[in-house]
Structure 1
Amino acid sequence: MSVSGTAGVEGLPAEQQPPEDPLRAWRGLADTSVLLDGFHALKHALRFGARIPVALTSDKAAVLALAADLAPDVAAALDALLAETDDATLRALVPRLHPTAVAALAVRPSRTANLQVLAHTPRPAPVVVLDDPRNLGNAGAVIRLAAGFGATGVVTTGTLDPWHPTVVRGGAGLHFATAVERVDVAELPAGPVFALDAEGEDIRGLKLPDDAVLAFGSERSGLSSELRARADHLVSLPMRPQVSSYNLATSVGMTLFHWSSGRPPGAQV
């Protein structure tokens, strides 16, 4: 077993300097850190300012070639951060290793800081609420969508941890591009609540404000009674008769697109 790392990399802040013993650092941090599984998760985390104490790969040259092709803006940071180890060692640390053979550990953003972002008004973009979601992959896909649209944040109610490794994998590292937290319904951010419901008003006749709180029920049981009681508006998506429902991420994507279509072309969040 061998590991090659680099210490004291010029231009990196102290907290981002690669550790002298990457494997020891990984084992000490794994239980309290966010696992970034794969090239795209690490790429996005770097772009959006995540603190990454350690990053490992079994093929550094291949990862840097991928960065040169797909993400040259983070190539230098990857070159500095990545430590190379053998494939068996990496798979022992990350049993479900991504095909790009790279993984990293990141510091989870402060809950206090995220809640401050969610509570700040006026907001330039909506907050997405997943009411008691059950599917980890769906939650990750929603966070990826929300980050892409520039949503202020994604909050979940219920028991699902939005920072679960499977959710982070589905979100491709974009948890660091928006505020992601779990809250109770009573703690939802301020703003008019537009809850998606098949019996609601057709969304095509509405303009969603920037400070909207967009709520989506669970994949199986829909909106909870508590969330429904909190809603200011029930809203429906256009759907062909006899079709039961859309996938959760699809519903979020359609709703955020409707919100964004009311903004001038090129508007930035």
Structure 2
Amino acid sequence: MTAFPDITRAWRSLADGAVLLDGFHALKHALRFGAAVPLAVATDRAATLALAEELAPDVGAVLDGLLTEVDEAAYRQLVPRPHPTGVAALAERPDREAALRTLDALPRTAPVVVLDQPRNLGNAGAVVRLAAGFGATGVVTTGPLDPWHPNVVRGGAGLHFATVVERLDVPDLPPGPVFALDAEGEDIRGVRLPDDAVLAFGSERSGLTPELRDRADRLLSLPMRPQVSSYNLATSVAMTLYHWSSQSPAGAPAATGTPAED
């Protein structure tokens, strides 16, 4: 077990600008999708490796060479909110210029999801997780919320590394027809969403901003029972991406999902 002062110094030397990966599943996904992870800790190294053997044998060897065991007190000093798996890591954030090139490149084989002025960190993370699962080109946020905030990364289970995640102003959104979800829009069930679509979603509280609404090529609505106010943001994104995937020759990846993970 590494001495607490040593691991603390190493962690603090890397933490500024790094992406915090909270929990086993976040670390697993980050490694699986090519993240550079210079430091990872676990309160029970053997148990973490056993979990990897059971759930993610493809990253087991990497974890074996990467994990440093620390005691519970040391672990709690390193992370703001300890995860039940007792695992945490620091990863390098992907190159922004490369991410922007991916967003701007045409033709695309999958849409870009835009969250217009999102407010809830956990919801934003859930959307990143959905986008990764559907093979979306990326998730773009507008407004002050940092899509790489630790709570967003935690909500995304480390799948920020499986898609592009960036923050942009509305005038700088990726190219492609903008389909914005709005209660006043036409029923989405009668609309084909192209692979190069930009799918925009407003916040649950205030909806689309005027700036994004003006940028939209079409307004679409999801089917909803009368007197139900709204869907959860992540639910709306899931319904829309499923609608796209059911129509597109590219579609979503094959159904290989597993039960939900914390």
The two structures have a TM-score, normalised by structure 2, of 0.93
Q: How does 1:18-167 map to 2 (within 5 A)?
A: 22-167=7-152
The question of whether the paired residues in 2 share the 8 Å contact of 1:54 and 1:105 is answered with yes
Kindly, what percent of the aligned residue pairs are identical? 75
- Consecutive unaligned residues in structure 1, runs of 5 or more: 5-20
Which region of structure 1 is more displaced relative to structure 2, 256-265 or 118-127? Answer: 256-265
The question of whether the paired residues in 2 share the 8 Å contact of 1:22 and 1:54 is answered with no
CA distance in 1, matches of 2:109, 2:248: 11
Shift of 1:31: 2.1
Shift of 1:24: 2.5
The question of whether the paired residues in 1 share the 8 Å contact of 2:49 and 2:60 is answered with yes
The number of residue pairs the alignment matches comes to 252
The question of whether the paired residues in 1 share the 8 Å contact of 2:176 and 2:197 is answered with yes
Which region of structure 1 is more displaced relative to structure 2, 235-244 or 23-32? Answer: 23-32
The question of whether the paired residues in 1 share the 8 Å contact of 2:134 and 2:253 is answered with no
Q: How does 1:172-183 map to 2 (within 5 A)?
A: 172-183=157-168
The two structures have a TM-score, normalised by structure 1, of 0.91
C-alpha RMSD of the superposition: 1.4
CA distance in 2, matches of 1:57, 1:186: 43
* Pair 1:3-2:2 in alignment: yes
CA distance in 2, matches of 1:187, 1:95: 33
- Consecutive unaligned residues in structure 2, runs of 5 or more: 255-262
CA distance in 2, matches of 1:159, 1:78: 35
Shift of 1:149: 0.2
User: Cα deviations across residues 79-111 of structure 1 (Å, max 9, x unaligned)?
Assistant: 110011111101111131110000000000111
Shift of 1:233: 0.5
